[in-house]
Amino acid sequence: MVQPNTDIFTPNHLINGNQWGWLTEYGRLVNVKNINGEWWRLITVIFLHSGVVHLITNSIAIYIIGRHMEKRINKISFISIFMICGLISSCFTMFVTNGAVGASGAIYGLIGSYIVLMIKRGEYILRDFKIIEIILLIAYLILPNLSGIVTIIAHLSGFVCGIICSLILDKIKTKNEILK
């Protein structure tokens, strides 16, 4: 039981990444034609990464956007937006991919959600961001999308889902305030 869970931390995987056999066995998203009833892949894909650089890049992005969102929404809403956007992104991506891993669809969802929150509250979107965070987020938003249609679909579907999640949260919040 311990061995399969530690394979991702082997030097070979951390250095070389993209070990599709291992990643496929443990939850990589596959094309809808090959999913064979393994719908759990729509969630596990969010927690798998193709190497240490991929993991660190996504971790930094989650830290930056999460740090600012946690000041504005509660933890349950944050986790819900992350998971819903990751799931929706996976649903769209499985139609165009032969294999995908990563949390970027969920992260783009957080970014879309954050933008809506700030606009709805009339706040300047980058108000609390440090310059290095702005530079890193811009790089995160642009560079991965240069790699092809799969990433663009994952990111765009996550981003749009994040916008929708924020609009729904805003409606729920408004309704709860009216009922008080």
CB atoms within 10 A of CB 97: 22
Identify whether 104 is a catalytic site residue. Answer: yes
Rounded CA-CA distance 172/169 in Å is: 5
Sign for the CA dihedral angle at 18, 16, 151, 136 comes to positive
* Catalytic-residue membership of 155: yes
**Torsion of the alpha carbons at 49, 52, 54 and 56, rounded to the nearest 10:** 110
Looking at 50, 89, 104, 157, which residue is catalytic?
104
Provide the H-helix boundaries in 121-148. Answer: 131-142
Buried b (16+ CB within 10 A) or exposed e, 143-152: ebbeeeebbe
The catalytic position among 13, 155, 157, 166 is 155
In this structure, are residues 27 and 47 in contact, taking their beta carbons and an 8 Å threshold?
yes
Active site residues: 104, 155
